[in-house]
């Protein structure tokens, strides 16, 4: 069947933002405030993106609760949490700009929890030296997305909901637009645009046990990769230490780190608080080594050090895994997270209402009385599209990325709360970068109809096939492979196996068939997303194979230590002309002396420096 491109709905914008989570909304707001004609495209309804699920809070050195906080300390925490693999410049910008981005939300109507002095309240979280997470109970993401959404709809942004981006259009090297499909009608739509900003979030749906929803299939990674953009840091996939493990149907659903921030402790089946055993040397000067000191910290003693439950996520996730392996796990293969013995029922319900509700309904468990069962769950991609630190533009002119789908700021491991701030900071910067790019653009790029035809054909082939593989079962096979071979700890043999399996699946993909019509057909959505999942999975597996060390969220049993050499390299992936995946070890940029010094100074040195500055 011939495709008549002139029949396809075509709209024109200066900028198309793909994704309506925090990053996409913030980017779209920035673009339209600078007078750019802006379109915003998302797979679900507006307000339902992953950002809505974020619980614990947004990290920013507002210093409302502990006056010693400062961007320099936030920056140092972020670098240490990321095992110093973070993009230096991005980590610096992030720490410096987060406070203003959070205050701006208040200006747009967000209502954060308050301190006694009427300021935005902040809570403790893993890896953050001071109480730093501005929050609203345990529904911070909802507050942020609703605020951005309600602000954004009055800014003249055109929103295309339940519309799935398929591929980018290019004029030579440059971006010239995008093709998408309306989920309701199954009709295609061509966006002519000078800039595309990808803000599509992560790809957690490649694993069986994940906190991610159906949307997180790595579409942005795939779209960017196919158009020649580079991907970076894919080996760093964050396993959040506390996902639900029981009942089976909710396995992976997140239990916020806020539970530990509010004092929750981790115990094994022997009733032992095991995290004291797993304190890494680097963190031992800053971590409590007795229950007594932990309790003092919880009671608000500023001299006491932080409990080991609040070590970074990579450390806690691996500790839980080791306890379970050693036969000290809970009934259903996790460990116990206990807040009931640490806080009053009233406090728990006030500070963690949605956790209370979630366990009450989904697990029939009262967390004010009983401990929760938790275990690691795939949660977040530190890696993503490689972008310029100041402009957020990728190596493809006109293609930008922000939020979880971009790489850099979090290095080898993300601190909790640093994602929401990342979205706001780099969403805005992507908007500014886009405007600068458009201003410097000579002739407007043109759309090539042959590219459109190819994209449409690829999508409709899945429906037109006579018969073929069930996309849901295909997805399950892929997930099993990633869970088994590219999991929380890795080794060469498994990774090689995993890649082999993926190669087989790639061949099989051309046989996947979606039954039914093109109208609101989740089977078709699923089949389209498999392409993204395959590329995302392959990128993770190949990057994990080449990085022969253990660092942050990437653990190799055959290379159990950090390597000094690998400290200087990122793994960068791009598509070769012959269609295969090229994996390179690329030397990192060096930081300025001052930034380097801040990252590596001791806490005492930095606290003294900050105190002096504030005098």
Partner 1 sequence: MRYFKLFRGNNSEGEMKDYRIEVEKGMVVLDAILRIQAEQENDLAVRWNCKAGKCGSCSVEINGKPKLSCMTRMNEYDNDETISIRPLKTFPVMRDLVTDVSWNFIQNKKIAPFKPDPSQKDKNGNYRMTQEDVDRIQEFRKCIECYLCQNVCHVLRDHDKRNKFIGPRFLICLASLEMHPLDTTDRIPDIKNDFGTGMCNITKCCTDVCPEHIQLTDNGIIPLKERVVDRYYDPLKWIWRKLVGEKILRLFPS
Residues marked active site are found at 240, 260
Q: Which does 417 bind (CB under 5 to 8 A by kind): ligand FAD, partner 1, none?
A: ligand FAD
Q: Does 215 bind ligand FAD (CB under 6 A)?
A: yes
Question: Judged by CB under 8 A, which stretch of 361-369, 373-381, 394-402, 496-504 contacts partner 1?
Answer: 361-369
Q: Does 391 bind partner 1 (CB under 8 A)?
A: no
Report angle CA 223, 220, 26 to the nearest 5 degrees.
135
Report angle CA 440, 443, 446 to the nearest 5 degrees.
125
Q: How far apart are CA 56 and CA 138, in angstroms?
A: 5
Binding track over 151-190 against ligand FAD, x by CB under 6 A: -------------xx-------------------------
Residues 96-125 that bind partner 1 (CB under 8 A): 103, 106-109, 111, 113-114, 117-121
Residues 229-268 that bind partner 1 (CB under 8 A): 246-250, 253-254
CB-CB contact of 421 with 240 (8 Å): no
What is the strand order of the sheet 188-192 is part of? 9-12, 188-192, 174-182, 163-171
CB-CB contact of 411 with 83 (8 Å): yes
Taking the complex as a whole, the smallest distance from the CB of residue 138 to ligand FAD amounts, in Å, to 8
Q: Peptide bond before 247: cis, by omega within 30 degrees of 0? A: yes
Question: Judged by CB under 8 A, which stretch of 71-79, 90-98, 145-153, 389-397 contacts partner 1?
Answer: 145-153
Sign of the CA dihedral with 384 first, then 126, 551, and 378 last: negative
Number of neighbouring beta carbons within 10 Å of residue 37: 16
Q: How far apart are CA 439 and CA 420, in angstroms?
A: 29
131's CB contacts (< 8 A; 6+ apart) are 65, 66, 122, 123, 124
The beta-strand segments (E) located in 502-580 are: 569-575
Is the CB of 159 or the CB of 544 nearer to partner 1? 159
Q: Does 399 bind ligand FAD (CB under 6 A)?
A: no
Phi, psi of 483 (to 5 degrees): -60, -45
Q: Does 508 bind partner 1 (CB under 8 A)?
A: no
Question: Judged by CB under 8 A, which stretch of 78-86, 309-317, 405-413, 517-525 contacts partner 1?
Answer: 517-525
Q: Does 44 bind partner 1 (CB under 8 A)?
A: yes
Question: Judged by CB under 6 A, which stretch of 18-26, 111-119, 442-450, 507-515 contacts ligand FAD?
Answer: 18-26
Residues 313-342 that bind partner 1 (CB under 8 A): none
Name the residue among 118, 119, 149, 109 with its Cα closest to residue 26: 149
Taking the complex as a whole, the smallest distance from the CB of residue 64 to ligand FAD amounts, in Å, to 18
Name the residue among 211, 171, 567, 462 with its Cα closest to residue 358: 211
Tokens 């042959």, residue located: 450
Is the CB of 14 or the CB of 219 nearer to ligand FAD? 219
Q: How far apart are CA 389 and CA 581, in angstroms?
A: 24
Instruction: Give contact residues for partner 1 (rule: CB under 8 A).
Output: 44-48, 50, 52-53, 64, 103, 106-109, 111, 113-114, 117-121, 136-137, 139, 141-143, 146, 150-151, 153-154, 161, 184, 213-215, 246-250, 253-254, 354, 357-358, 361-364, 470-473, 514-517, 519-524
Instruction: Give contact residues for ligand FAD (rule: CB under 6 A).
Output: 18-24, 41-44, 49-51, 53-58, 140-141, 164-165, 199-201, 211-212, 215, 219, 254, 380, 403-405, 416-420, 423
């Amino acid at each position: 069947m011939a495709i008549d491109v002139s029949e396809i709905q075509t709209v024109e914008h200066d900028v198309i933002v793909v994704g309506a989570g925090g990053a996409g909304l913030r980017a779209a707001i920035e673009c339209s405030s600078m007078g750019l004609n802006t379109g915003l495209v998302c797979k679900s309804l507006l307000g339902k993106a992953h950002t809505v699920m974020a619980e614990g809070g947004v990290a920013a050195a507002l210093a409302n609760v502990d006056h010693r906080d400062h961007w320099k300390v936030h920056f140092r925490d972020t670098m240490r949490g990321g095992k110093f693999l973070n993009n230096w410049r991005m980590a610096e910008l992030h720490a410096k700009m987060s406070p203003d981005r959070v205050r701006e939300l208040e200006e747009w109507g967000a209502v954060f929890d308050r301190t006694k002095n009427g300021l935005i309240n902040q809570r403790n979280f893993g890896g953050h030296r001071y109480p730093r997470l501005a929050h609203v109970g345990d529904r911070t993401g909802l507050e942020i997305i609703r605020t951005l959404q309600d602000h954004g709809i009055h800014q003249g942004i055109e929103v295309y909901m339940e519309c799935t981006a398929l591929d980018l259009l290019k004029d030579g090297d440059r971006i010239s637009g995008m093709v998408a499909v309306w989920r309701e009608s199954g009709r295609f739509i061509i966006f002519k645009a000078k800039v595309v900003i990808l803000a599509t979030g992560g790809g957690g749906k490649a694993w069986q046990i994940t906190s991610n929803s159906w949307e997180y299939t790595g579409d942005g990674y795939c779209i960017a990769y196919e158009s020649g953009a580079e991907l970076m840091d894919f080996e760093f996939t964050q396993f959040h230490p506390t996902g639900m493990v029981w009942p089976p149907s909710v396995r992976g659903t997140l239990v916020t780190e806020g539970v530990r921030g509010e004092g929750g402790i981790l115990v094994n089946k022997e009733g032992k608080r095991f995290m004291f055993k797993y304190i890494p040397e680097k963190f031992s000067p800053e971590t409590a080594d007795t229950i007594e000191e932990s309790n003092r910290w919880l009671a608000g003693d500023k001299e006491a050090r932080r409990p080991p439950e609040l070590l970074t996520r990579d450390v806690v996730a691996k500790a839980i895994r080791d306890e379970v392996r050693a036969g000290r796990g809970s009934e259903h293969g996790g460990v116990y997270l206990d807040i009931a013995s640490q806080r009053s029922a009233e406090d728990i319900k006030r500070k963690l209402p949605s956790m209370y509700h979630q366990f009450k309904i989904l697990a029939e468990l009262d967390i004010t009385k009983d401990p929760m069962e938790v275990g690691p769950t795939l949660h977040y991609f530190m890696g993503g599209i490689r972008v310029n630190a100041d402009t957020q533009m990728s190596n493809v002119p006109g293609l930008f990325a922000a939020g979880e789908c971009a790489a850099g700021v979090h290095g080898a491991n993300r601190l909790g709360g640093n994602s929401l701030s990342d979205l706001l900071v780099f969403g805005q910067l992507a908007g500014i970068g886009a405007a600068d790019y458009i201003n410097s653009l000579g002739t407007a790029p043109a759309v090539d109809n042959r590219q459109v035809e190819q994209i449409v054909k690829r999508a409709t082939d899945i429906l037109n096939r006579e018969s073929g593989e069930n996309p849901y079962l295909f997805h399950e096979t892929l997930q099993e492979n990633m869970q088994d071979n590219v999991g929380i700890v890795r080794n060469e043999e498994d990774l090689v196996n995993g890649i082999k399996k993926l190669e087989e699946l790639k061949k099989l993909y051309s046989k996947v068939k979606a039954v039914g019509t093109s109208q609101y057909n989740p089977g078709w959505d699923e089949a389209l997303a498999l392409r993204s999942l395959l590329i995302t999975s392959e990128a993770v597996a190949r990057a994990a194979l080449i990085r022969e060390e253990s660092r942050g969220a990437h653990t190799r049993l055959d290379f159990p230590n950090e390597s000094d050499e690998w400290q200087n390299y990122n793994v960068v992936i791009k598509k070769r002309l012959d269609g295969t995946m090229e994996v390179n070890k690329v030397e990192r940029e060096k930081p300025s002396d001052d930034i380097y010094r801040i990252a590596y100074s001791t806490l005492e040195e930095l606290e003294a420096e900050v105190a002096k500055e504030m005098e």
